[in-house]
Amino acid sequence: MSKEREYKCIDCFCGAGGLALGLRRAGFSIVYSFDNDPKAIETIVSNPAYIPAHLSEVADAVSLDVPRMLEMLGLRPGETDLLAGGPPCQGFSIQRRGDDSDLRNNLVPRYFEIIRLIMPKMFVMENVPGIMGRRGREILRGCLERAAGFGYFVSERTLDAQEFGTPQRRKRIFVVGERKDHAGPLFKFPSGSSARVTVREAIGFLPPPPEDGTDHPGYRHHRRDRLSEDNLKRIRSLKEGQGRDFLPDDLLLPCHRVSSAKMGHRNVFGRMRWDSPAPTITARFDSFSRGMFGHPEQDRSVSLREGALLQSFPLDYNFAGSKVEIARQIGNAVPPRLAEALGTSLMEALKKWTS
């Protein structure tokens, strides 16, 4: 009986492993991961039940020695099945203010340079929709032209995580490339479903976390953030699904006395709805003041564990670092269920190619 072929994937900017976890479920073997955050690599290593042990390194994409990495893996250019990654996207975020020359924007061209050096059969890049806006579209267009020039069919699409079993509204751009040395293109983006997973279904079973801020004894990372007296008054004045527009005047910040129709930020100081998907989980979802991150009925922000569940991480997935570091890893991750749907489509294309 012949051994089933192994489909090898290199995971760039791996973060907490959301993309790797989904791709692993779709059948890929993760052979190398890197990130410049040591805590993210610690998270990857601490979850062997979900992402089996492999070479994982703290490394910066800019200085990554790609030939050395391929040599360590026993691979030559062209032999990797899939290169996956989501270059840090804060420089393209529509919520970001300030100078357009954010150095993180340079990581997108660098990722395409890594693609050129590795020449995988297929690649995938994830990023925020803001990359299609004023700050990012010229950078992305140039990168896609380069990829076509060194031999790839390229396609792109915006996918919403809530259409793929994730209890969260989260739109992201995915760019997929497949090498032109076969009859193609073969890849087709996955189709979403109209079914939705709600906040209640995702986190409603969890008991309240301890009042003292420690982890719940039965659920790691399930702990409450301490709210100021003013924020306690704010959250107690709101019903589920309500945000700053529903706060009484005496609890509004001076900067929020201008209508949200003019200044935006409608959902800061907000509570989630039980029977809808959650809003986008950001890197600061642990803070009630940063978005609609209040628990639907308890007077607190959602916990780290609840945020991870709303991102579709497993209940017992481990995260390394401080509260802020863990929240950043969770908020920046690709939802594993979305990654699995995309990975299944990537795997289908590769199997047609190699059959």
Residue type, 211: E
Residue whose pair of structure tokens reads 């306690």 in the numeric block: 232
Per the annotation, the verdict on 12 as an active-site residue is no
The span from the CA of 222 to the CA of 302, in Å, is: 9
Cα distances (angstroms) measured from residue 335 to each of 58, 111, 201, 224, 355: 22, 21, 16, 23, 30
Tell me how crowded residue 221 is: count the other CB atoms within 10 A of its CB: 22
Tokens of 318: 């481990």
CB contact at 8 A, 46 and 320: yes
Q: Which residues contact 262 (CB under 8 A, 6 or more apart)?
A: none
Q: Which one is catalytic: 9, 14, 89, 143?
A: 89
Question: Could you give the count of Cα atoms lying within 13 Å of 90 in the half-sphere of its Cβ?
Answer: 13
Distance CA 163, CA 197 (A): 9
The Cα–Cα gap between 162 and 83 comes to 25
Give the number of other CB atoms < 10 A from CB of residue 33.
Answer: 27
The span from the first CA to the last CA of the chain, in angstroms, equals 17
Q: Is 240 exposed, middle or buried (0-12, 13-18, 19+ CB in 10 A)?
A: middle
Q: Are 81 and 7 in contact (CB under 8 A)?
A: yes
**What does residue 171 show for φ and ψ, rounded to 5 degrees?**
-95, 135
Task: State how beta strands 122-127 and 171-179 pair.
Answer: antiparallel
Catalogue the active-site residues. Answer: 89
